[in-house]
Amino acid sequence: MIDVQAYQMTAKDKPFEKVVYQIEDIKPDEALIEISGCGVCHTDLSFWHYGVPTRHELPLVLGHEISGIVMEGPSELKGKPVIIPAVLPCGDCSLCNSGRSNICQKQKMPGNDFNGGFGSHIVVPSKYLTVVPDAALKNHSLAELSVIADAVSTPYQVIVKSELKQDDFCVIIGVGGIGIYGAQLAQILGGNVLALDISQDKLDQLQDAGITNTLNIKDLDIREIKKQVKAKCKDMGASPFGWKIYEMSGTKPGQELGYALMGIASTLSIVGFTLDKLEVRLSNLMAFDGKIIGTWGCKPELYTDVINLTAEGKLKLKPYTQTFPMSKINDIFQDTLEHKFLKRSVLTPDF
């Protein structure tokens, strides 16, 4: 029997409460993980503040960006540092067998279907745990790497899914949160990247990753933004056709802008989430021979690619990640809600 200390959500906007619960047994296909870090995601805020219901009834321990050490489980995994995929598929259904395991309808998500990562330990299916190589730990702590579980792997999957080709003009809308990683990944995978945001501070921090083509769109209307984006495209020597547009802000204005920027043979990828509805003219898709795609999490088999990019030093996480003691969870959630952070917050157990 293992005593797990954790912070659980009890109701919308209510402070997280410290609790202790027991794990009595671990099944043969499961693993017990001692948590090193758990990232604070916009999805967690959606549960806690914006009224999005969790699939498991409250109270519930949130958190799905988790890294840690395997304490119990398959012998080949014991003692290994791992990242837990944010979406854990069944592996046997038609969606899993057709390469769409990220949208498996039997999937389980930590902090949504069962107690998640804002605690000391977690039990998860062992099948899809991704081992972290030593090379990835040379410049990052295991806690910092927890953001790979969602904030990094989700934009990676959608960029792959969008069929990005070398030198494609890539517009990243929103470079706080997942966008800071999405912009890097688009560039690493060959894109000609232009980053848009309403915060100059968020745009400026991209320089650490070698991304210098940015546009502050604060106080600009859509018509002016389109004009300036087209000018940037020309200045960057990119094609006026086949744009790859990635909406990562998770806002209605961001999604409206993404759709408005669509042109000939363009692809709009919706990565950010909002409950708001849009009114758009779908005939543009016909006229431009364009397409819109969505993404949900990331297939576990893609995680190794992302970790390797980090291990090789191509993908930078440390400049955009900050750690806090888990005991500060209520302050961190409130500050995140109020947009006080430029960097992704990771909570580390201090029980």
Digit-coded pLDDT (tens) for 34-55: 999 999 998 999 999 999 999 9
Cβ–Cβ under 8 Å, residues 291 and 163: no
CA angle 192, 198, 204 (to 5 degrees): 60
Give the tens place of pLDDT for each residue, 52-78: 999 999 999 999 999 999 999 999 999
The closest alpha carbon to 84, from 177, 3, 153, 155, belongs to: 153
Radius of gyration in angstroms for the set of CA atoms belonging to the chain, rounded to a whole number = 20
Ranges in the chain annotated CATH 3.40.50.720: 153-294
Residues of the chain with CATH 3.90.180.10: 2-150+298-348
Taking a C-beta distance cutoff of 8 angstroms, is the pair 8, 330 a contact? Answer: no
pTM of this prediction? 0.94
Residues of the chain with pLDDT under 50: none
Q: Are strands 130-131 and 214-216 parallel, antiparallel or unpaired?
A: unpaired
CATH class, range 153-294: alpha beta
What is the per-residue DSSP string for 30-84? EEEEEEEEEE--HHHHHHHTS-PPPSSPSSB----EEEEEEEES-TTTTT-EEEE
What is the pLDDT, as a whole number, of residue 274? 85
* Beta-ladder partners of 21: 4
Query: pLDDT by residue (tens digit) across 158-186?
Result: 999 999 999 999 999 999 889 999 999 99
Q: Which residues contact 237 (CB under 8 A, 6 or more apart)?
A: 192
pLDDT of residue 1: 81
The size of the chain, in residues, is 351
**Does CATH place domain 2-150+298-348 in 3.90.180.10?**
yes
> Beta strand pairing status for 81-84 and 65-72?
antiparallel
- Which ranges constitute the DSSP H helices of the chain? 42-48, 94-97, 153-161, 178-188, 200-204, 222-235, 252-260, 283-288, 303-311, 329-337
